[in-house]
Amino acid sequence: MEGAIEKVLLTEEEIKKRVNELAKEIEKDFPHGDLILIGVLKGSVIFVSDLMRALNLKVTMDFMAVSSYGMSSETSGIVRILKDLDFDIEGRDVIIVEDIIDTGTTLKYLYEYLKARHPRTLKICCLLDKPDRRRVNIEGDYVGFKIPDAFVVGYGLDYAEMFRNLPYIGILKEDIYKK
Ligand SMILES: O=P(O)(O)OC[C@H]1O[C@H](OP(=O)(O)OP(=O)(O)O)[C@H](O)[C@@H]1O
Ligand SMILES: Nc1nc2[nH]cnc2c(=O)[nH]1
């Protein structure tokens, strides 16, 4: 698995430190807690688990499953909802937790979809942001790291469902996905 990685972009330690900082920013904005964190499956599963444990607040957790990349390293441009929320979010403070904003297609779609359910507040927390690749206008409220335009894996992020379990974030060698 390690042989497929061109370069380690963010180490386990760097990610941990930044996740703790993001949790502090969220605690400052929502001192009374009672937040709903919505993890976006599958990529955000490790990030949302770590973020939730770093938050010293009352939080509940829900998940949506969406997919637009499938087995590819390029977006299909079509977001498919594979699992919807279990809870009603009307009148609640909600944070969408994502692993990455790339073209922005997934988050833009999700943001509008959830906004229509009338939460009291709706924020976006994403670990990684690739601003150079943006195709639609959407930004994170809490952003872990801005990264260059390269296809990254690890810490939840996959290529064809592999590499999610790497503890760090690495740039995938081009010959793996450009075959
Ligand atoms: O900004 P975008 O260009 O839309 O890309 C971001 C999305 O791509 C990945 O999801 P993917 O469709 O690969 O599903 P996964 O989370 O199950 O890996 C990632 O988890 C984001 O949801
Ligand atoms: N694994 C992975 N998924 C993505 N989805 C959008 N951009 C990326 C990326 O760089 N890596």
User: Which protein residues are within 6 Å of ligand 2, measured from CB?
Assistant: 69, 100, 102, 151-153, 157-159
Angle at 57 between CA 19 and CA 118, to 5 degrees: 95
Q: Which residues contact 114 (CB under 8 A, 6 or more apart)?
A: 38, 89, 94, 96, 122
Q: Which ligand is nearest to the CA of 155?
A: 2
Domains defined along the chain, listed by start: 12-150 (3.40.50.2020)
ipTM of the complex: 0.97
pLDDT per position as a tens digit, 84-124: 999 999 999 999 999 999 999 999 999 999 999 999 999 99
Q: How far is the CA of 121 from the centre of ligand 1 (A)?
A: 23
How far is ligand 1, taken at its centre, from the CA of residue 58, in Å?
Answer: 28
What mean pLDDT comes out for the span 54-69? Answer: 93
Q: Could you tell me the pLDDT band of residue 179, with boundaries at 50, 70 and 90?
A: low
